[in-house]
Amino acid sequence: MFALKARLRDAEKAKSLMVEKGLIDNSFRSKKDSKHIYFPLKEKAFVKGFEIVEIDFEKNNKPVAMDLKSLLKGKLSEEYFERLKSSYDVIGSIAILEIDEELRGKEKVIAEALLESNTTIKTVLRKDAAHRTEFRTQKMKFLAGIDTRETVHKENNVLLKLDVENVYFSPRLSTERKRISEQVKPGEDILVMFSGCSPYPCVLSKITEAKGIVGIEINPAGHKYGLENVKMNKIKNVELINGDVRLEVPKMNKKFDRIIMPLPKEAQDFLDVAFQAAMKGTRIHFYQFLHEDNFGEAEKKAKEEALKYGFKFKYLDLVKCGQHSPRVYRICLDFEVQ
Ligand SMILES: C[S@@+](CC[C@H](N)C(=O)[O-])C[C@H]1O[C@@H](n2cnc3c(N)ncnc32)[C@H](O)[C@@H]1O
């Protein structure tokens, strides 16, 4: 079968080029000799700077992904096992674990088991702190596999390249991005506040007939990847701005058909900015973290702010799109400005 031949020191570069193009056939195991590594390809391909050869590969018999607890049965003591969190995120080829302080002595065992379990996982990292910076990023500790923070993630038919340590991205929001995209009508002008590495703008562009989408992101690293992602997905109707929503929106002096506010902890402080870019008929997607007894808070805040700008509020929907902590959810309130 066809293989890409790379010198061992160029393995990472070759791999990321192939991941970007979706060329690697993960059902076979890559091969190495003393100087080279050979990656199995799905088809004959041209990858600039690398030789394509024909060799035989062995089938990859690693089991497919399972939850951590099933993977670690028998490898940790009963006490450790009970305390282990069983979920983890996979962004592209990077798995990200959360491990409590008292389990950290076993974190390498946990990471190696995860790496072994899934052919698409090449790197295992652990979150080092909660989302603390103004950019919502967090330090990561390298645990196993290839020591990198950059990867290409695929969702809703778009490729998203990012550095998982320096840019916020949650793969758990892909269904939510699809939900919003399904509401978009042809010809809409859309504003995505807090656009990160541009998952909302790219997905909206790919699966809707929106006229134009503007994304605003304050983190220079997020903005840089956003620009790269727009280019990589051959998108033409997205404009990205690196700056503070509070300053950039008034400068545009423009009204939008739809405004998306994916900053659940603070979106309420930007409702005034959203109303400056709204007109009658604008639909707003307002994210919040709320306890299930207080979901009504979101509507209260949006209604109050609408009144200040001389608008009426029309409720459309309220959906749960993630869980933050026990009984506290990430919710999205969809409403129309009237
Ligand atoms: C929760 S993340 C969401 C990112 C992206 N929309 C996504 O879904 O992956 C919020 C983003 O808002 C950005 N941000 C925070 N305050 C901002 C502001 N005042 N203006 C523009 N961006 C801001 C952060 O840097 C971060 O990337």
- Determine contact, residues 192/201, Cβ cutoff 8 Å: yes
Confidence at residue 170, expressed as pLDDT on a 0 to 100 scale: 95
pTM exceeding 0.75: yes
| pLDDT at site 17 | 79
Residue 161 lies in a domain: no
* Element at 93 (helix H, strand E): none
pLDDT at residue 63 is higher than 60: no
Ligand 1 atom 6: residue of nearest CA: 195
CA of 154 to the centre of ligand 1 (A): 20
Is 106 in the same domain as 48?
no
Q: Are residues 117 and 226 part of one domain?
A: no
Rounded percentage of the chain residues whose pLDDT exceeds 90? 71
User: In this structure, are 243 and 319 located in the same domain?
Assistant: yes
Q: How far is the CA of 267 from the centre of ligand 1 (A)?
A: 10
Tell me whether residue 54 is exposed, middle or buried, using C-beta atoms within 10 angstroms of its C-beta: 0 to 12, 13 to 18, 19 or more: exposed
The lowest-confidence range among 28-42, 62-76, 94-108, 110-124 is 62-76
Residue 30, CA atoms < 13 Å, CB-side half-sphere: 22
CB atoms within 10 A of CB 183: 14
Per the domain annotation, does 255 fall within a domain? Answer: yes
Least confident of 53-57, 61-65, 106-110, 167-171: 61-65
Q: 40 lies in a domain?
A: yes
pLDDT at 87 over 80: no
Same domain, 81 and 33: no
Q: Is 155 within the bounds of a domain? A: no
**Pocket test residue of 224, 263, 273 for ligand 1, highest count of atoms within 8 A of CB:** 263
67 or 161, greater pLDDT:
161
Q: Return the number of other C-beta atoms located less than 10 Å from residue 73's C-beta.
A: 10
Name residues contacting ligand 1 (CB within 6 A).
Answer: 134-136, 168-170, 173, 194-196, 199-200, 216-219, 222, 244-246, 262-263
Same-domain pairing of 49 and 81: no
Query: For atom 24 of ligand 1, which residue has the closest CA?
Result: 135
CATH assignment at residue 25? 3.30.70.2580
Same domain for 178 and 275? yes
Give distance in angstroms: CA of 134 to centre of ligand 1.
8
Give the pLDDT score at 44: 86
Looking at the structure, do residues 122 and 184 belong to the same domain, yes or no?
no
Pocket test for ligand 1, best of 134, 167, 168 (most atoms within 8 A of CB): 168
CA–CA distance, 145 with 77 (Å, rounded to integer): 24
Q: Residue 99 maps to which CATH number?
A: 3.30.300.110
Listed residues 93, 117, 148: the one ending a domain: 148
Q: Based on the domain organization, do 47 and 88 belong to the same domain?
A: no
Q: Which residues contact 160 (CB under 8 A, 6 or more apart)?
A: 152, 153, 154, 169, 197, 198, 199, 202, 225, 229
CB crowding 252-276: b at 16 or more within 10 Å, else e: eeebbbbbbbbbbeebbebbebbbe
Among protein residues, the one whose CA lies closest to atom 1 of ligand 1: 263
In a domain, 333, yes or no: yes
Q: How many domains does the structure of the chain reveal? A: 3
Provide the pLDDT for residue 64: 46
Q: Which of 9-18, 32-41, 205-214, 326-335 has the lowest mean pLDDT?
A: 9-18
Helix (H, G, I), strand (E, B) or coil at 19: helix
User: What is the atom index within ligand 1 of the atom nearest the CA of 260?
Assistant: 6
188 and 320 belong to one structural domain: yes
Mark whether 15 and 132 lie in a shared domain. no
Boundaries of domain holding 212: 168-337
